[in-house]
Amino acid sequence: MQTPALRTAQAPLAITMGDPAGIGPEIVVKAFRDAPDVARGCFVAGDVGCMRRAAALLAKPGAPAPPVAQIEHPDEVPGVPPGCLPVLQVVAPVPTQLQIGRVSAAAGRAAGDAVTWAARAALAGEISAIVTAPLHKEALAAAGFEFPGHTELLQWEAARHLGRGVDEVPVRMMLANDELRTVLVSIHVSLRQAIEAVSFDGVLQTLRIAHAALSRALGRVPRIAVAGLNPHAGEGGLFGSEEQAIIAPAIAAACAEGIEASGPYAPDTVFMRARRGEFDAVIAMYHDQGLIPVKYLGVEKGVNVTLGLPLVRTSPDHGTAFDLAGTGRADAASLIEAIRVARSLVRQTGEIGCA
């Protein structure tokens, strides 16, 4: 097992470029151009040529894109002139003939390799946090990666670094904006598999992870609501038994540990109650149950935070948007918010040790 690494808030923050065939490079350039104070102290982990092409795409009279400055190590970030976009070449050069807006193994390889590099750099203490621009799961699979997305890839890298099994580094996805936080019991699996994943251990573990993360973030014990799996939270067993047999006992066990959890509540109303301030977060039983309400409130402010990792990782709450790639119209607001949240998490935790 490797010695835990420590990172401080002063270390640079890495933004992975995302799938080069998607909007990732464009929104990264926009973040540096439109929110220079937020992006200060950040650098891009990816491909210099790809980022220069994205900058050229966005350049227009009266609103020039920031010049791209190649760096050789994260420590060089403070010395980059103001207004420049520092890029560290961490992947094989992306082919210039790569077709924008299309799934390709080359794009998936570049995106996945950038995340792998950033994870290892964070675990080694070279960077303070990771903000990941969107990648495409189909492209990642075409490149030969065995992971369906960022979360699973980062979990595997963390487990490898710590010398543990993947199951020993449980992680959860939290989607959050100014109005709502939701933490998911299962992530990227089919709906049928997600239903099967609703177990006593899974719900209790999710409550523990959410409680620990939100206690640090809020500075107090968080109020956590738990959504049911079935309509009306099962209606006393009329529409399903999972609430009575699995979810309620897990909540009781969490409460016995000092976690302020309640439910299970009807999924069609619990998110509204949380938005009104009754709860600090909602535990959702599966991916779409939790993500639809957050994204409905506006993807421009939504941020994805991976809980349970021995590093800080955030991302925008949207995908590669192949239909917008190459048009220059993609909105960087969610990425900018993800950078803000990552900085805030680093400040809250101070020096973050690999646990």
pLDDT in tens, 80-116: 998 899 999 999 999 999 999 999 999 999 999 999 9
Question: What pLDDT does residue 233 have?
Answer: 78
CA–CA dist 273, 265 (Å, integer): 10
Place of tokens 């990941």: 132
CA–CA dist 172, 187 (Å, integer): 8
Structure confidence by residue, pLDDT tens digits, 174-199: 998 888 999 999 987 888 999 998 99
Whole-model pTM above 0.85?
A: yes
CA–CA dist 185, 201 (Å, integer): 10
Looking at the chain, the whole-number percentage of residues with pLDDT higher than 70 is 95
Taking alpha carbons only, the member of 125, 122, 115 closest to residue 24 is 115
DSSP 233: G
CA–CA dist 51, 6 (Å, integer): 30
CATH 3.40.718.10 domain residues, the chain: 1-170+307-355, 178-297
Hey, what amino acid is at 98? Answer: L
CA–CA dist 217, 220 (Å, integer): 8
pLDDT class of 348 with cuts at 50, 70, 90: confident
Structure confidence by residue, pLDDT tens digits, 313-336: 999 988 999 999 999 999 999 999
User: Which one is predicted more confidently, 309 or 302?
Assistant: 309
Taking alpha carbons only, the member of 88, 63, 130 closest to residue 345 is 130
DSSP 63: B
Structure confidence by residue, pLDDT tens digits, 2-12: 443 444 567 89
Taking residues 141-166, what's their average pLDDT? Answer: 93
Looking at the chain, the whole-number percentage of residues with pLDDT higher than 90 is 75
CA–CA dist 101, 323 (Å, integer): 6
Burial class (CB in 10 A: 0-12, 13-18, 19+), 329: exposed
DSSP-H helix ranges across the chain: 24-34, 36-39, 48-58, 105-123, 137-142, 150-162, 191-196, 200-218, 242, 248-256, 267-275, 287-296, 333-349
CA–CA dist 192, 129 (Å, integer): 34
CATH architecture designation of domain 1-170+307-355: 3-Layer(aba) Sandwich (3.40)
Classified by CATH at the fold level, domain 178-297 comes out as Isopropylmalate Dehydrogenase (3.40.718)
Question: What pLDDT does residue 349 have?
Answer: 64
DSSP 222: -
Place of tokens 């990227």: 188
Contact at 8 Å (CB) between 132 and 16? yes
Q: Across the chain, what does the average pLDDT equal? A: 91
Structure confidence by residue, pLDDT tens digits, 43-68: 999 999 999 999 999 988 777 788 99
H or E stretch covering 175: strand 172-176
Question: What pLDDT does residue 355 have?
Answer: 39
Structure confidence by residue, pLDDT tens digits, 223-254: 999 999 998 876 787 788 898 999 999 999 99
pLDDT class of 148 with cuts at 50, 70, 90: confident
CA–CA dist 209, 70 (Å, integer): 38
Cβ–Cβ contacts within 10 Å for residue 78, how many? 11
The token duo for 40 is 């200060």
- Helices and strands, counts by H and E, the chain: 13, 14
